[in-house]
């Protein structure tokens, strides 16, 4: 059975769910009942409360992911389409302190005209903060939208990334 616990992030407390195949979900804290119900609806399996988030996950939520730092962390993205998984995997490779455009991600995954589809895929990211979709911006350099509370949160995360990358 999957488990979840609360972790503290720069943009607020988040539920982090994880199971045998890896991290399955990161979501802003609302109500426990609401989280458990929505989790079951999305993934078709129950989730139960754990005492804490594993340390490696908590560290990445606090500091942001960095592909140059080795980690045994895995993600269960089995509920996503192949395109969405490829977009998220490309996003995971963006170093802390750097950004890529939606078009660059589309080109990286072999679909150079699919920048809007990349945006849609990132909006479905089940593990934001861990797979850093906040590092993907518009081609004009503006930050664009962010599903976890909006552009202000995205700016906070990008600023943190820049501070920690130097």
pLDDT digits (tens, 9 = 90+) for 73-99: 999 999 999 999 999 999 999 999 999
Residue 23's closest CA among 114, 87, 88, 67? 88
Instruction: Evaluate whether 88 touches 125 at the Cβ level (below 8 Å).
Output: yes
Query: Tokens in use for 104?
Result: 């660059």
Q: Supply the pTM of this predicted model.
A: 0.93
| Residues with active-site annotation | 133
Residue 127, pLDDT above cutoff 90? yes
Residue 147, pLDDT above cutoff 90? no
How much is the mean pLDDT over the chain?
93
Integer Cα distance of 125 and 147 in angstroms: 9
Confidence of residue 68 (pLDDT cuts 50, 70, 90): confident
pLDDT per residue as tens digits for the range 7-56: 999 999 999 999 999 999 999 997 767 899 989 998 999 999 999 999 99
CA dihedral 72, 93, 27, 134 (to 10 degrees): 150
What does the pLDDT read at residue 57? 93
């Amino acid at each position: 059975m999957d488990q979840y616990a609360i972790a503290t992030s720069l943009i607020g407390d988040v539920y982090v769910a994880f199971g045998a195949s890896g991290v399955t979900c990161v979501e802003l804290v609302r109500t426990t009942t609401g989280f458990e119900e929505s989790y079951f609806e999305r993934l078709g399996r129950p989730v139960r409360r754990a005492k804490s988030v594993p340390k490696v996950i908590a560290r990445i939520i606090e500091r942001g992911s960095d592909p140059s730092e080795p980690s045994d962390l895995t993600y269960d993205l089995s509920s996503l389409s192949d395109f969405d998984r490829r977009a998220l995997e490309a996003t995971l490779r963006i170093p802390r302190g750097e950004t890529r455009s939606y078009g660059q991600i589309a080109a990286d995954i072999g679909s150079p005209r699919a920048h809007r589809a990349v945006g849609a895929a990132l909006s479905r990211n089940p593990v934001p903060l861990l797979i850093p979709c906040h590092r993907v911006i518009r081609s004009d350099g503006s930050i664009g939208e962010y599903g976890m509370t909006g552009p202000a949160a995205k700016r906070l995360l990008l600023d943190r990334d820049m501070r920690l990358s130097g």
